[in-house]
Amino acid sequence: MPLPELPLVIETNQLQRCLGQENLLLVDLSQPATYVQYHIPGAVFLDYSWIVRVEQPRMGLLPDPAQLTHVLSALGLTPDTHVVTYDDEGGGRACRLLWTLEAAGHRRFSLLNGGLRTWANQNHEISTEITWPTAGHYEVNMDFDGVATRQYILDHLSDASVALLDVRSPAEYQGRKVYAQRGGHIPGAVNLEWTEAMDPQHDLCLKPAAELRDRLAGLGITPDKEVIVYCQTHHRSAHTYVMLKSLGFEKVKGYPGSWSDWGNEPNTPIEK
């Protein structure tokens, strides 16, 4: 049975019907101890550190093509593979993988809404059996449409068609909590903490689309604009990136390195 077209955000019941089908790859980015304890049957484990690059003090940078080729080939990815990913924290690590896949030129992927917590709490089957991927060779074809660099942001600070969305905590946004040489936010950025998109009453699934659109519109984040999302490293903001895409925002970019890049640069403009 061929794998049907899957949405960007997939619900647990939709995934249940697809388990075991050809060209479906389940990737678990939970903590290693969680994966060993329980995971979705057939899911392979991927350590988050394998899909980010670190150049201290800058964290969460986009890996180079050679590293991505190595990691994606080890997963057994092919151009026809549809990746469904999840984690145990609400989707941040899982969404960073999806953003990275897009940057590597892969387009067939989905986020499991609510992740492992929702799957387990809805009494779907769980497993302790370790699944080892069959390695192959995946040809990375980099696509930077969804990637914003520091220079790109500097060039568009006065561009009214570009909106900056800072999804860190209010304390980080206001410069009261500082995890870089300097604190504050990028000039003109508005603040929406990433967890505000999640529904704590429903296992951290995304809130209803209409509610999210209204909240974003109140901040001036509308689909006609290009939206650049960032946090401290582009971990939390990767979740926001996928959330915006799921709402039909077509012009979205993520800033790898995020504040660890901007706030550790001595001459970047900052607001508090």
Spatial separation of the C-alpha atoms in residues 245 and 166, rounded to whole Å: 16
Q: How far apart are the first and last CA of the chain?
A: 55
Please answer whether residues 227 and 72 qualify as being in contact, where contact means their C-beta atoms are separated by less than 8 angstroms: no
**Given the residues 18, 95, 205, 231, the one annotated as active site:** 231
* Phi, psi at 147, each rounded to 5°: -115, 130
Which residue type does 63 have?
P
Nearest to 45 by CA among 31, 29, 23: 29
Task: Classify strands 58-61 and 53-55 as parallel, antiparallel or unpaired.
Answer: antiparallel
Residues whose CB falls within 8 Å of the CB of residue 49, separated by 6 or more in sequence, listed in order: none
Longest dimension (CA), the chain: 56
User: Cα separation of 128 and 190, whole Å?
Assistant: 43
* Residues, the chain: 272
Q: Is 231 a catalytic site residue?
A: yes
Task: Give the integer Cα–Cα distance in Å for 115 and 133.
Answer: 20
Residue 109 φ/ψ, nearest 5 degrees: -160, 160
Contact criterion met (CB below 8 Å) for 109 and 27: no
Instruction: Indicate the DSSP class of residue 140.
Output: -
Known catalytic residues are 231
